Chain A
Amino acid sequence: AQSVTQPDIHITVSEGASLELRCNYSYGATPYLFWYVQSPGQGLQLLLKYFSGDTLVQGIKGFEAEFKRSQSSFNLRKPSVHWSDAAEYFCAVLKTSYDKVIFGPGTSLSVIP
């Protein structure tokens, strides 16, 4: 079965600290990979995506993600977190161009001053 896992339900980091949010998928081939952010009361916003090529992708708001085929992972990182980064983060996977996007369960990020 198609599966996207985000092992961390909730993460708390201090403002200015680095951040890494984990995402794993269970497909044989390399899927299309996405990270979305959802702030309270708002819809989802695309942070970045990976389709092919360079395995380190840069996104908006200072985020980056690295695709690791050997680990079936697509972890999201940010070197220095800001209080405004507090939100829900969703990893999403598209198996092929003919399929529908499947979202992971999300990781809730809290930022403490």
Chain B
Amino acid sequence: DAGVTQSPTHLIKTRGQHVTLRCSPISGHKSVSWYQQVLGQGPQFIFQYYEKEERGRGNFPDRFSARQFPNYSSELNVNALLLGDSALYLCASSLGLADYNEQFFGPGTRLTVL
């Protein structure tokens, strides 16, 4: 079975631009969570979507938004990019809503903002 997939693998943008990152969960998983991992740090929670509804939001500015589609895939959008948005963005899927359900992570999208 395919694991969690993310696209693109790498992305280079300039300050002020907009970016869209995509995630396809494991088949049958209804929960998708997004994390930001800055170099040298652990992942930080951005959003969780379950059954196409936002179920959790981390401490990130409104420039960050996300959505989940009927097939449970998800997009993360970041507007007005800042240099500090440079990071590895991870998507994780799980069967259930609660975080004690095992989360399966994708390989991530490496975003570089110049």
Contacts and interface: CB of A to CB of B under 8 A. Distances in A.
A86 B45 CA distance: 25
B90 A43 contact: yes
B34 to A, nearest CB: 12
Given A90-B43, A100-B58, A105-B40, A43 B100 contact: no
Max chain B C-beta neighbours (<10 A), residue from A42, A44, A49, A94: A44
B99 interface: yes
Nearest to A92: B42
Given A43-B4, A45-B105, A97 B100 contact: yes
Contacts of A49: 102
Residue from the set A36, A92, A101, A102 with the largest chain B CB neighbour count within 10 Å: A101
A44 B90 contact: yes
A46 interface: yes
A90 B105 CA distance: 13
B45 A44 contact: no
Interface size class of A (residues with CB under 8 A): 20 to 34
Contacts of A106: 40-42
Interface string A23-45: 00000000010001000011111
A90 B44 CA distance: 12
Contact of A94 (B41, B58, B100, B106): B100
Interface string B43-56: 11100100000001
Interface in B63-84: none
Contact of A101 (B4, B45, B108): B45
A99 interface: yes
Interface string B87-111: 0001010000011101101111000
Given A44-B90, A92-B42, 5 more contacts: A43-B90, A43-B105, A94-B100, A100-B99, A105-B40
Interface of B: 4, 40-45, 48, 56, 58, 90, 92, 98-100, 102-103, 105-108
